[in-house]
Every structure is written in C-alpha cells, then in structure tokens.
Chain A
Amino acid sequence: MDKLFLKKILRLAFFLFVLYIFQAFVFTRVAVKGVKPLIIPVAAIGVGFFGGGVKGGVFGLFCGILCDAAFDSVPLFVFLLPVLGMFSGLITEYYLIPGLPSYIICSLGGLLVISVFQMFSFVMFKNASLAVVAEAALYQSLYSLIFALLLYWPSRLVSGGRK
C-alpha cells in the first residue's frame, strides 16, 4: 500500500478516535441548556467539504458507525453521515466557493438535516410538541456550529485536500 495513502488514513483514524473520546466521554458531561454538541457529524461534513465527496462519504460511514454507538440511536447516523459527507463534498465542488463562510453554511445545513431526522419520531410517534422539539433541535444545531468552527482547521488539515 502506498505509504502516503496509509499515512492519510491513519491521520483520519486518529482524528476520528480523538473526536469520539470527546463526543462520548467529555461532552456528555458538559451540556449547555441541557444540550450536548454533535462533534463527529460536523467533522464528517468538514472532511467532505475539504476532501471531496468520496472522502466525505467514506469518512462519514465510519463516523456514522461510531455516532450510533455514542448516541444510543437506532441506525440513523450510519446512513445519514456518509450522505452528508458526500453531499458536502459535491456541493463544494460545484456550487460553493471553498472558505469559512461556505463551510459554516454547509455545516449548519448538515446539522439542521440531522436535527430534522432526530425530531421526526418524537413529533410523529411520541406526541411531543413541535415547538419544544424544534427548540431543542435549534439549540443543538447552534451549539454544534461552535464546534464546527473549532474543527475548521483540523478538518482541513486531516482531509488532505481534493485531488
């Protein structure tokens, strides 16, 4: 196997490992207004944004597996994150100018999509009030956006750029 390729994979794996530690063990204890941030999902979107659709999709798949483990969710992220990772790569390739503003827009879009999926079962099957659920979703997205900003440079660094 190409040494450079292996190095890139190891870098991404290490990045994901660190993110998982923070997501599953650190930020579960640091909730703001009862909300914990989504760190791994924003990294999946970030790697797709800087590395392109293929990298985003593959990295998103691994992120999804770990996210479902950390979030105790029904398999949701394992399907959603590869799509979001790939989509952020493709949209940047064709429609957005790579840079911080586009990255923020892309991350916020992805976070809102995730929130809509998470809200779905509560609104449809558990009679939860839409306003309350939407408020939680908004807080979650905005709080996570702070981490998207913090992950701007690391995501750019580990993604290794587009071919």
Chain B
Amino acid sequence: MALAAALLTGLTAHSLGGGRGLFSGAVDLLMNPIGRGVAVLADYFESVYGYMFRYDQLKTENESLKGRIAELERQMRDNLSAEEENKRLRELLKLKQKHSDFDLETATVISWGASNWTSTFTISKGKSSGLELNECIITENGYLVGQIIEIGEYTAKARTIIDPSMNIGAMIHRTGIPAVAGGDFEAMRKGNLKLSYIPEGAATANGDVITTSGKGKTVPKGLMIGKIVDAGIDASGTSRYAIIKPAAALNELSQVFVIKSFNVED
C-alpha cells in the first residue's frame, strides 16, 4: 500500500511539475499503434463503404467530368478554328488594302480530284455566286492557287497551278524577266511546277520569287506563284527551265478566294 501510494504521489508530482505524465506516456505508447491500426481499418472500411454506397455518385460525377472535358475540348477546337479564321481574315484585309481593285468571293474547298494524273479540286461556290470560267483562285495571302475550269450552279471545279495542263504568264520578280509557269507531270508528283521559256542570258537563282505577269488578262499581275528551288536545261539542250515550289500550301487548303474582277494593267 505504501509503495503504491508513493508511486501515485510521484507520478502526480511529475505531472504537476509540467512534465508529460508517466500515465499519459504509457497510454500513448500503448494506444498509438492501436490508434493507427484503427485509422487504417477505418480508412479501409470507409473506402469499402464508399465503393459500395457512393459508387453511383462517383460514376455520375465521373461521367459529368468526362462531359465537361469533352465540352472544354470542343471549345478549345472552336477557339483554334476561330483563331485560324481570324488570322486568315487579317491577311485578307492586308491583301484587300494592297489590291483594292480585287472583287473577291470566299469559297471552301469541298473535295479533291481522285486522279493521279491531274491536280484539281472543287469549291463551294458557282455561277449563283457570280463566278465565271477561268477566274483565278488565291489564298488569303494572295498566293496563286489555281483557276476555274468547270462551273456549275453551286460549285466549281478548278485546277491547281501544278496541274500538267496549267500555263500562266509569269515573271521573275527580282529581274522582271517574263517566262511561263506551268504544270509538268514530273514536277507535279513532287508538288512543284515548272518555269519555262526563260530567255537566254536571264539570271535565275534559287529562292527567286516568281509572280504572275498579268499577261493574258485572266490573272492579275503580281500574285505570288512560288520560289525557284532548282534549275536546269531541257533534254533537248536548247532551253532552260526552273522548278518552282508553290507559295500556297496546296495540301492544306480549306478556304480560298476567287478573284471575280480586277483592274487590268497594260
């Protein structure tokens, strides 16, 4: 009894003295692992409970989040598309300021020709929009794309500048020397066109910009066709040619502009 009373007095005095009581320490020591175990078990049962009873709620929440993600992705796509259109329209505005005489009609590329021997496409506008045969088609930057070859009421078929049947009056922009830019089967397969009838002695260099000369009066002067990437002499050895890489990205065309009228320069 005396020993127990002494122990109790000692422990109490220790607690009152500000130290952690021996009882508390012992209880902590014993209860800590149990508490942790209980917490782990509680977490486990909570998750089981959640799985069993909150599954439907989580599923609904998951579906709702998926829907939200899809909606955000759609909005992002729309924004990108609007941004691209905005960019195109800004370029078009610059082009309109530069060529105020152009009467342009916007059209969309509907489909591409299936042939391996030609390069054609169909646009979403036709006679009903005031389009006519041989009118030329450009991008928003003023790069030449092609020319209308068949026209319907609501659609028109055009050939691109790389089509083997294409011939346009061209000019080496740096020197002002005239030549003829036209399609060539071999060049077409690589996505290019050919500059022919280059006068003897005319200087050409890789990177030279080729523009339309305005001769023939169906295509306005000064539209960019592309840049020279290679040059050579014909198999006959009599005339020179150059290979032009089109300025317009023909494979990526979606929106194009048809020049319905322009001022003819003599």
Contacts and interface: CB of A to CB of B under 8 A. Distances in A.
A140 interface: yes
A73 B189 CA distance: 18
Interface in B110-160: 111-118, 120, 157
Interface string A13-40: 0000000000111011100001110000
B113 to A, nearest CB: 5
Tell me if B's interface is mostly helix, strand, loop or mixed: loop
A72 interface: yes
B185 interface: yes
Contacts of A73: 115, 117-118
Nearest to B157: A72
A35 B115 CA distance: 9
A53 to B, nearest CB: 27
A25 B109 CA distance: 12
B115 A72 contact: yes
B185 A34 contact: no
B246 interface: no
Given A72-B118, A118-B117, A122-B164, A136 B112 contact: no
B115 A128 contact: no
Interface residues of A, number: 22
Contact of A35 (B116, B118, B190): B116
A113 interface: no
Nearest to A40: B114
B186 interface: yes
Interface in A123-154: 126, 128-129, 132-133, 136, 140
Interface of B: 111-118, 120, 157, 164, 184-186, 189-191
20 contacts: A28-B112, A34-B116, A36-B115, A71-B115, A72-B113, A72-B114, A72-B118, A72-B157, A73-B118, A118-B116, A118-B117, A122-B164, A126-B185, A128-B184, A128-B185, A132-B185, A132-B186, A133-B185, A136-B117, A136-B189
